[in-house]
Amino acid sequence: MSKILALSNGVELSFTDESTVENMVNVLNSFADVDNYANNLSNDTLKFATFDGQQLENVVFVELTARKDQYGNVMLKVTNRYKTELEILGETQAEQDDVINYLLMNSES
């Protein structure tokens, strides 16, 4: 059994049961298999994504690494982090500023 990361673009990626939101791991057959992960993982595709059936909120993609172990397996690791409160507040402030500017620009004088 595995945990599924369902991205907002409709792509589903598989990870081991031991994976967490911050550290997602999988064992792949070859480095060519890494491309599917690398081409689909981004901050945009993590928005509205689910991991193991749970909605992800305020998750930021950090890096994807792949290495070959002594047995020839390709070990894939995806590292994510949660946004800080300061980042969330900054985004909220920016959204509020956009709304205020829109209202000011479109109000009748």
Q: What per-residue confidence (pLDDT) applies to 5?
A: 97
Residues 62-98: tens digit of each pLDDT? 999 999 999 999 999 999 999 999 998 988 888 888 8
- Print burial letters for 34-61: b (CB count within 10 Å at least 16), e (below 16): beebeeebeeebbeebebeeeebeebee
Rounded Cα–Cα distance for residues 105 and 67 (Å): 53
71 secondary structure, DSSP code = T
pLDDT of residue 52 exceeding 70 = yes
pLDDT of residue 109 exceeding 60 = no
pTM for the full model?
0.81
Contact by Cβ (8 Å): 33, 21: no
Q: For residue 83, what are the β-bridge partners?
A: none
The mean of the pLDDT values for the chain is: 93
